[in-house]
Chains A and B, each alone.
Chain A
């Protein structure tokens, strides 16, 4: 498996994660205090893996018979997944108690889904991508229906399962066609021989099917129909994970498997595909979100439009664009987690306070919470001092470099439209009288998670260069 100790050390994030799952299983079945131990163990495990990966980004190598890459951008993706999942764990602890749906398995399945995401980011072979994707998706289907007493959660789980399996079918078919034309599933071979392979129609069809499957996972426009229902039906904390971890993992898989697409400003066969779905997702997400009254559905449509901005980066297809996509994924993960975290706090038992209008006057009752939510909303809208602005900025600049100025202009217009429904929340909170007595149960762990995400959003906004330098070093 490993040729030397260094390779073993480089694979440690995956090994720690896998070992952590085994230990969590033992805690769940043997400890009487698992309700207390397991959540904190999970959060610490995610934190440990995330910090380890960030610390050892320089250990670039390929291990396990050319199956997995380590170090570099793979480790940065690990950090995004695991630190995001740590925030999800923190906001889950009291949310689960509020809804009285404690299962130790919740944290176990959270961990397996993150392991799946990590495998997708690390893959050097199409089969490893498929393995990671299935590990992640199956965990997600279960998580969506975790609150099994709610009919809506069951509906969300079944819907996600059926549509998700269908999308996975596209990916498998795509992999089969790629294998049929390239005679290998090794990503390195595909990357080096990409120019020759694109003259083969079978290969292009395979990659297109592969991309369609992943467009479903990242919630891009024509493949988005599951998103609002699933986010609304499943628990808020779980929806936070779907919209951040799941999306980042699918982007990491696209970047890892089709890196040959992102080598120059000249554009390629797949640029039109990316350009079309990015424009459609941006505008569809931004415009339909205006009409939403349920805040979780609004965040779902906002997630569709953010997928559109990210795909502009894929369409631009140069190294700056990939760095921009990774920066945006990091920023988007934390701003969305923070927003979902606050929604999960404000949300009362039996799904009260999910209406947008129930946020009216939050600033007079809970000024601190309202301030945090405003920062996150400004960041999601792309207002300068916060991380969301720089994510969009890097992607649009990269698009202009690739002579896709029209795409960047459409992106800016769409951001302006989306500002309406983000800022509307801020207006409601600060300038409308309170109609609601906000019986918000205090939760220190959730506040810790939300404040951490807000701090990361502000830091990425003030010092965007340091994170971007870390990314561009490995592209």
Chain B
């Protein structure tokens, strides 16, 4: 039982050694010429100054919510598509129609968002 985990232990050890070696070599051998730009926190190009609770436009939340809905759709459809042929043999054509009903209901939601202007940015 416990010996099954030995490969994982080896991977962990190699990972730790690799991290230590690379970081320490760059610290020991690399040239060190610090300036204020280099010492400041790296924030993906944003200025790391100011309050953390900045106001963010509500539109981003809307996009994120709509994204989640369609993301979930894919999550449901994917395993169904992979197992479709087997299920078709076992259960019959109702497998196809169940998914069709689900997709129609979901697309109606899409239509609702579209009609209400959920995709308009301005």
Given A1-B94, A1-B98, A29 and B116 contact (CB-CB distance below 8 Å): yes
A29 touches B105 (CB 8 A): no
A22 touches B94 (CB 8 A): no
A to B CB contacts below 8 Å, 11 in the list: A1-B94, A1-B98, A22-B105, A22-B108, A25-B112, A26-B108, A28-B112, A29-B111, A29-B112, A29-B115, A29-B116
In this complex, the member of A22, A28, A29, A30 whose beta carbon has the largest number of chain B beta carbons within 10 angstroms is A29
Interface size on B, as a range, is under 10
Closest Cβ of chain A to B97, distance in Å, is 8
CB proximity to A under 8 Å, residues B77-122: 94, 98, 105, 108-109, 111-112, 115-116
Chain A residues within 8 Å of B108, by CB: 22, 25-26
Number of interface residues of A (CB under 8 A): 7
CB proximity to B under 8 Å, residues A1-53: 1, 22, 25-26, 28-30
Chain B residues within 8 Å of A22, by CB: 105, 108
A301-B112 Cα distance, complex, nearest whole Å: 39
A22-B112 Cα distance, complex, nearest whole Å: 11
Closest Cβ of chain B to A282, distance in Å, is 42
Nearest residue in A to B115 (C-beta to C-beta)?
A29
Closest Cβ of chain A to B115, distance in Å, is 4
Closest Cβ of chain A to B114, distance in Å, is 9
* Among all A-B residue pairs, the 7 with the closest Cβ atoms: A29-B115, A1-B94, A29-B112, A25-B108, A25-B112, A22-B108, A1-B98
A30-B98 Cα distance, complex, nearest whole Å: 26
A26-B111 Cα distance, complex, nearest whole Å: 9
A29-B110 Cα distance, complex, nearest whole Å: 12
Nearest residue in B to A65 (C-beta to C-beta)?
B91
Closest Cβ of chain B to A22, distance in Å, is 6
CB proximity to B under 8 Å, residues A76-131: none
Closest Cβ of chain B to A148, distance in Å, is 13
Closest Cβ of chain B to A38, distance in Å, is 14
Other A-B pairs beyond A1-B98, A25-B112, A29-B116, 11, CB < 8 Å: A1-B94, A22-B105, A22-B108, A25-B108, A25-B109, A26-B108, A28-B112, A29-B111, A29-B112, A29-B115, A30-B115
A87-B70 Cα distance, complex, nearest whole Å: 36
Closest Cβ of chain B to A166, distance in Å, is 22
Chain B residues within 8 Å of A29, by CB: 111-112, 115-116
Closest Cβ of chain B to A24, distance in Å, is 11
Nearest residue in A to B116 (C-beta to C-beta)?
A29
Closest Cβ of chain A to B94, distance in Å, is 5
Chain A residues within 8 Å of B116, by CB: 29
A30-B108 Cα distance, complex, nearest whole Å: 12
Chain B residues within 8 Å of A25, by CB: 108-109, 112
Chain B residues within 8 Å of A28, by CB: 112
Chain B residues within 8 Å of A30, by CB: 115
Nearest residue in B to A26 (C-beta to C-beta)?
B108
A1-B102 Cα distance, complex, nearest whole Å: 14
Nearest residue in B to A30 (C-beta to C-beta)?
B115
Nearest residue in B to A21 (C-beta to C-beta)?
B105
Closest Cβ of chain A to B119, distance in Å, is 14
A28-B111 Cα distance, complex, nearest whole Å: 11
Contact with B along A363-398 (1 / 0, CB 8 A): 000000000000000000000000000000000000
A286-B64 Cα distance, complex, nearest whole Å: 46
Nearest residue in B to A18 (C-beta to C-beta)?
B105
Contact with B along A171-186 (1 / 0, CB 8 A): 0000000000000000
Contact with B along A318-352 (1 / 0, CB 8 A): 00000000000000000000000000000000000
A392-B111 Cα distance, complex, nearest whole Å: 49
A29-B116 Cα distance, complex, nearest whole Å: 8
Nearest residue in B to A2 (C-beta to C-beta)?
B94
A29-B105 Cα distance, complex, nearest whole Å: 14
Closest Cβ of chain A to B38, distance in Å, is 44
A319-B111 Cα distance, complex, nearest whole Å: 48
Chain A residues within 8 Å of B94, by CB: 1
Closest Cβ of chain A to B77, distance in Å, is 18
Nearest residue in B to A108 (C-beta to C-beta)?
B112
Closest Cβ of chain A to B100, distance in Å, is 12
Contact with B along A127-171 (1 / 0, CB 8 A): 000000000000000000000000000000000000000000000
